[in-house]
Structure 1
């Protein structure tokens, strides 16, 4: 009897076309973000402080939008895997409705209760800092619907296996942002308002660009008849089934980071500076692996939609190995270049020595546990196991990342090193649980679409 050959859901070339642009997109986000920060720094100390405060809230909300976009991408990917283009196109419409409605409500609330929200989040700050924060906050809030829809559109293109569009849109968005900063801050002296307006213009451009490209009828997902409001409760529930747990998980993670940052601030200036240096340097390490994780959502989602559970496992294993390999290479490079990278900040000897010690330990623990902690959960979410990843991540974060930070850093007087050790414990706990979950079958028994 002749064996039937099963066609791979993704070829090697298709995987490369999906993942390679994502790597450059992630790299662009980090490098351009650094350039943006340096340009805004010329506005003045009070302005930078106000922008920094608002950005903490903005990151939290943007993470929620990204989580909802991931929910839509999972649903669309599974319909495409099932070869149901109409289902995928309808899911895309429902995603745009949901994410637009949510972002408009948040924008209205943030504009209407601008000062009250800032006072609630940050308490009493200097009047000039609060004035800068208020200006930046209300203009930033106007951009929420645009960045939300952009995230949704970019996720839909990834679900089609096309990440070049989001790379191009990201490049254009950041170019407009930097160019706008240069024009509005340096030439027109608009200060904080100029920085916020440049961001608003860049997000509007990226949003409309993605929407126009999604109208192409040759796309597997073509966004059509959007203005004919037709809500599909089943598809909206499917999107929320993945998006809501992912959004809660991302939101709680950002809140946890803020709490830990407050603890670090109590250790003194040297610890604050060393922590900032290590955060900046370590963020570079995960860029390629994070891109692979984004691609995994599309790949596993498409496999599950096609009913190819075995292929979903195989791709998960292969992409995990690839991500782990990049983590090994990047940490090796960081370990080799740690001296020059940390020395670039020209800090006092004590701060530099502390940062160097933390970076060496980070490289070891990152290689050991970061990939299964943060990349593997994407495969579980793409299969519909988002509630499990949310529960594990939140419990581990509150007990180990936050709780142990206070025990090790404060109670046992380990300071900043104790806070980073608590983070490694959190990673290891997550890694063990997610590897155990992926080894079993329960995650593949979840249903996202009927």
Structure 2
């Protein structure tokens, strides 16, 4: 469940701050927050200056052919995201057996890795729109050009972000009150992230946004799910539990996942098979 600023106000308003009713109160607040947002969106869609304003929702009839096309894209993407969450849980269960120092170090390293990838992910999300518009206009060469160009932009962003976070990891561990062993492990992992991520991360994620925009979602789902389970999860568990490599085993598995996906996506980008789909007919 996501926490929204309005939730706290509703909890206070209805006197649900006590532990016994906090969970029920937060769920109620979340429900009313989403309900309010729904009505705001419905109201905004009625504005006449919109390209396609919506006035009477009761006259709208579903177009099942278009819905099936949307689901053909949405369901594989949903499965991919769901499997990713299951994989995170499996990895977390392995880390939880390594002791408090390893858990704290892994948690902080994971947070830093997420932060240094946010801007590049934003570039990838923008790539989906650009590729979608290019293919919608039947300009396949333009779509290929933008996948390559924005991959280069993402590479520059990743290098800068990784260096910035590497510089900040020392004060973060110090002011975060981490114990010496946890700080040492965290800095060690972030050092390797800073080295490997600029090399392997971009091609394992950014081209996939373009592939999805082109309708090549089943391929990206299959590659990401298999790579995650065999590299990120299975390899990490073998290295951690079989070879006693500690939390660094998780990152070796992740580096392997990035590398495998990057190689496969690079081949897919070069052979142009991802363009042999039709999202809109």
Normalised by the length of structure 1, the TM-score is 0.58
1:231 is paired with a residue of what secondary structure?
coil
The reply to whether residue 377 of structure 1 matches residue 211 of structure 2 is no
The reply to whether residue 387 of structure 1 matches residue 218 of structure 2 is yes
CA contact (8 A) 2:6 2:33 kept: no
Cα 1:202/1:186, change in 2 over 3 Å: closer
Q: Post-superposition shift, 1:437?
A: 0.7
The reply to whether residue 327 of structure 1 matches residue 154 of structure 2 is no
CA contact (8 A) 2:147 2:207 kept: yes
Task: Kindly report the root-mean-square deviation, in angstroms, between the aligned alpha carbons of the 2 structures.
Answer: 2.1
Question: Given the alignment, which residue of 146, 169, 174 partners 1:338?
Answer: 169
CA-to-aligned-CA distance 1:311-355 (integer Å, 9 cap, x gap):
111222222222222111111100111101122321211111111
CA distance in 1, matches of 2:140, 2:125: 19
Residue number in structure 1 paired with 2:276? 445
CA distance in 2, matches of 1:290, 1:390: 17
The reply to whether residue 243 of structure 1 matches residue 74 of structure 2 is yes
CA distance in 2, matches of 1:221, 1:370: 39
CA distance in 1, matches of 2:13, 2:46: 37
CA distance in 2, matches of 1:194, 1:367: 44
Cα 1:286/1:306, change in 2 over 3 Å: same
Cα 1:367/1:207, change in 2 over 3 Å: farther
After the TM superposition, which residues 174-189 of structure 1 pair with which residues of structure 2 at under 5 Å, given as runs? 177-181=4-8, 184=11, 188=15, 189=17
Q: Post-superposition shift, 1:199?
A: 2.8
Question: Given the alignment, which residue of 251, 259, 263 partners 2:90?
Answer: 259
Residue number in structure 2 paired with 1:79? none
CA distance in 2, matches of 1:365, 1:211: 46
Residue number in structure 2 paired with 1:234? 65
Moved over 6 A (4+): none
Cα 1:400/1:348, change in 2 over 3 Å: same
Normalised by the length of structure 2, the TM-score is 0.91
CA contact (8 A) 1:215 1:222 kept: yes
CA-to-aligned-CA distance 1:89-135 (integer Å, 9 cap, x gap):
xxxxxxxxxxxxxxxxxxxxxxxxxxxxxxxxxxxxxxxxxxxxxxx
Q: Post-superposition shift, 1:182?
A: 5.4
Residue number in structure 2 paired with 1:309? 140
CA contact (8 A) 2:134 2:140 kept: yes
Cα 1:444/1:357, change in 2 over 3 Å: same
Unaligned runs of 5+ in 1: 1-54, 59-173
Unaligned runs of 5+ in 2: none
Residue number in structure 2 paired with 1:350? 181
After the TM superposition, which residues 16-165 of structure 1 pair with which residues of structure 2 at under 5 Å, given as runs? 55=1
Cα 1:225/1:369, change in 2 over 3 Å: farther
Residue number in structure 2 paired with 1:208? 39
- Count of aligned pairs: 277
